[in-house]
């Protein structure tokens, strides 16, 4: 006894959802799917940017403190350097200034002129 059927198996009969899952069509008029930005890759750039900012701010603050709380000088000529050296010898700070008209003790022997050693 043999059963003969004219019906051949169809893909929908075997797995009815497979065709619809593979060939899904999205409406293009109102919904556009954009590629998402991988934010986890931006975290190292944020860390690097923050470290450069911390380093720059730290160096700026250290320079400001070393300069006696004053802004940095620009375009120094020989006269400015000489006056800064005199101020350093008078006050102990490179940018320090004093209103005392008399020099501190020991300043009369502190000659700023640089001399070379004699050859004998």
Every domain of the chain and the residues it spans: 43-94
- How does pLDDT run across 90-118, given as a tens digit for each residue? 888 878 888 887 877 767 666 666 666 66
- How does pLDDT run across 53-94, given as a tens digit for each residue? 999 999 999 989 988 888 888 899 999 988 888 888 888 887
Residues 6+ apart with CB under 8 A from 110: 89
DSSP class of 60: H
**Which tokens go with 64?**
């400001």
Give the pLDDT of residue 39. Answer: 82
Task: Please indicate, yes or no, whether the overall pTM of this predicted structure exceeds 0.85.
Answer: no
pLDDT surpasses 60 at 19: no
């Amino acid at each position: 006894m043999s059963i003969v059927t004219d019906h051949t198996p169809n893909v929908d009969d075997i797995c009815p959802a497979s065709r619809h899952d593979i060939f899904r069509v999205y409406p293009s008029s109102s919904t556009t799917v954009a590629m998402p930005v991988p934010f986890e890759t931006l975290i190292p750039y944020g860390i690097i940017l923050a470290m450069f900012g911390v380093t720059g701010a730290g160096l700026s603050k250290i320079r400001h403190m070393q300069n006696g709380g004053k802004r940095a000088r620009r375009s120094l000529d020989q006269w400015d350097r000489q006056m800064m050296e005199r101020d350093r010898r008078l006050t102990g700070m490179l940018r320090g200034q004093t209103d005392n008209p008399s020099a501190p003790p020991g300043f009369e022997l502190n000659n700023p002129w640089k001399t070379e050693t004699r050859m004998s």
